Amino acid sequence: MGKLFLSLVVVLSLAGTGVAGANKDNASFQQMASQINADAWVVMDNRTGRIIAERNKDMRYYPASITKIGTAIMALERGRLDDVVTISKAAAATEGSSLELTSGDKLTLRDLLYGIILHSGNDGAAAIAEHISGDENQFAKEMTLFLRTIGARNTNFTNASGLPDDQHYTTASDMAVITRYAMSNPVFRDIAAAKSYDWKDELWSKRLEDHERPEAKILGLSWDGTAQIVNHNRLLTLYEGAIGVKNGFTDEARYTLVGAAQRNGTELIAVALKSENAVSAYQDMAKLLDYGFTVTATETVANEQPVEVVESQAELPRYAGKAEEPAQPVIDPESASSGGNPGILYLLTGILGFIAVSYLVYALRKPKRNVR
């Protein structure tokens, strides 16, 4: 049985290999990881989809407003930018961050997309959902299925904005996949990178101005009194080469942040979930991106197929999922930190199977004694 034991040791040693496993033995990785406040995070090469570094990438957490990345790309594939959307009473009453919309207001889908990505308007997200699918609940079901078709298989959304719900969750890995897909759309890229967007004068309010004026100052934008919404993703100013993407906050999710940046021909996506405060979220993002650029500058890029940036919205693949398909099993995101990675279960099952097969081979080869 000595060979069996040796084989088992080999299986166990190989089980921990891979990008993340190798990184965990790397001193620079350990130094970077020890400084990250977020509970879960991922750094991905946008060209190849390769995960450069991660922690708790498959654990489920509340996403807060980074949900709107999914809402936006879903809307871009199902609607048209010049569609006119009439705001319903239900959408206008959506709680949380608001574009101060009122029932009967009319905006284009383009306006609302800028409104939800730059200003993070929950009312705008609800209005988009109603326009695309009839009601927000139906939209959330369709969005979950749509995101599953592009590879986000551990995500379940119950609304379009990111308001907390026990059944509304995602993972750092899934958010990187969702963002990578979204960033292949040139319209989404333009929206995510915009620092401001002209708003309709008739929909402007003192409350909106009081909210946006200090954000403009943080981004270094001059305020000339015109109606304009400002991007609340401060990474655009804080990090050299930043090109988006979206920030979020709720009491349950704490601070969430998805960032994308370009340097020296490399484009990275990073996700940080459950940072304790806004300052630490942006600090986390800078450290993750710095580490990713250092790694990609010194190692060979993995041989994987890139995501092509399409030339027009018409060339994007169209979602064809069925809304009546069942959603993923519900999980309480609060148990994420103690939850298990399904890979561990697969590993244990494989080890047990290996032992059983090896023992069977050993038994069959063992000389038989004559028994009378």
**200 in Cβ contact with 78 (< 8 Å):** no
Instruction: Indicate if 275 belongs to the active site.
Output: no
Instruction: Indicate if 103 belongs to the active site.
Output: no
Instruction: Indicate if 141 belongs to the active site.
Output: no
Which residue in 57, 65, 97, 280 is the catalytic one?
65
Which residue in 88, 97, 98, 120 is the catalytic one?
120
Residues 6+ apart with CB under 8 A from 248: 63, 64, 65, 66, 67, 68, 120, 162, 255, 256, 257
For the segment 69-122, what is each residue's pLDDT rounded down to a tens digit? 999 999 999 999 999 999 999 999 999 999 999 999 999 999 999 999 999 999
What domains, with CATH codes, occur in the chain? Answer: 1-34+342-372 (no CATH), 37-194+231-340 (3.40.710.10)
What is the SS3 string spanning 132-183?
HHCCHHHHHHHHHHHHHHCCCCCCECCCCCCCCCCCCEECHHHHHHHHHHHC
For the segment 183-240, what is each residue's pLDDT rounded down to a tens digit? 999 999 999 999 999 999 899 988 888 888 888 888 888 788 789 999 999 999 999 9
pLDDT at 225: 78
Which residue in 57, 68, 246, 287 is the catalytic one?
68
